[in-house]
């Protein structure tokens, strides 16, 4: 049997408010609907290889080609908009590659016609986070 997640609150001076909790720490408690309403459903950026793979799939489903090459890029990547090619420094760590892809996604618009449902959802969440930031 799976054990429930427990949130422990310590060392508050006064009464804690909802703004004292990071949104990812708030579980769904049916007896506390105000906590459940506050829980965020946005995508957290995870610096893992599976998340990088999701971003790579997102670009592959659009009309851009993503390549990892060695090069002398000042920013660590290069975008050839006319040929729709994205080149990222192959010596970057996973975190660096993810940050480069996210930065590139801020500057280009992807063709969403061929996106799968999961890719469409991820792309919408990423663009919402970028407009909110």
Minimum mean pLDDT range among 24-28, 54-58, 115-119: 24-28
State pLDDT tens for residues 27-41: 554 444 444 444 444
Domain that holds residue 18: 1-41
pTM, 2 dp: 0.65
Q: To the nearest whole number, what is the mean pLDDT of the chain?
A: 77
Percent of the residues in the chain that have a pLDDT greater than 90, as a whole number: 49
Whether residue 114 sits in one domain with residue 91: yes
State pLDDT tens for residues 54-63: 999 999 999 8
Tally of domains within the chain: 2
| Other Cβ atoms within 10 Å of 28 Cβ, number | 11
Cα–Cα distance for residue pair 12/100, rounded to 1 Å: 39
Whether residue 71 sits in one domain with residue 29: no
Whether residue 58 sits in one domain with residue 20: no
Per-position DSSP letters for 109-127, written without gaps between them: ----TT--HHHHHHHHHHH
Instruction: List % helix, strand, coil for the chain (3-state, nearest 5).
Output: 40, 10, 50
DSSP tag of 2: P
Whether residue 77 sits in one domain with residue 109: yes
Cα–Cα distance for residue pair 105/121, rounded to 1 Å: 15
Whether residue 31 sits in one domain with residue 53: no
* pLDDT value at residue 79: 93
Cα–Cα distance for residue pair 13/8, rounded to 1 Å: 15
User: Is residue 58 helix, strand or coil?
Assistant: helix
Residue 101 has pLDDT above 60, yes or no: yes
Whether residue 58 sits in one domain with residue 114: yes
Whether residue 128 sits in one domain with residue 86: yes
Whether residue 78 sits in one domain with residue 105: yes
């Amino acid at each position: 049997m799976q054990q429930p997640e427990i949130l422990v609150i310590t060392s508050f001076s006064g009464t804690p408010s909802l703004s004292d909790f990071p949104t990812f720490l708030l579980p769904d408690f049916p007896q506390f609907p105000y906590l459940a309403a506050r829980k965020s459903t946005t995508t957290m950026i995870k610096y893992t290889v599976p998340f990088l793979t999701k971003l790579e799939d997102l670009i592959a489903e659009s009309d851009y080609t993503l390549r990892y090459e060695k090069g002398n890029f000042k920013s660590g990547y290069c975008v050839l908009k006319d040929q729709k090619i994205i080149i990222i420094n192959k010596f970057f760590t996973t975190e660096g590659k993810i940050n480069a892809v996210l930065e590139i996604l801020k500057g280009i618009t992807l063709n969403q016609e061929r996106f799968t449902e999961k890719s469409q959802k991820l792309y919408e969440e990423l663009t919402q986070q970028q407009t909110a930031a």
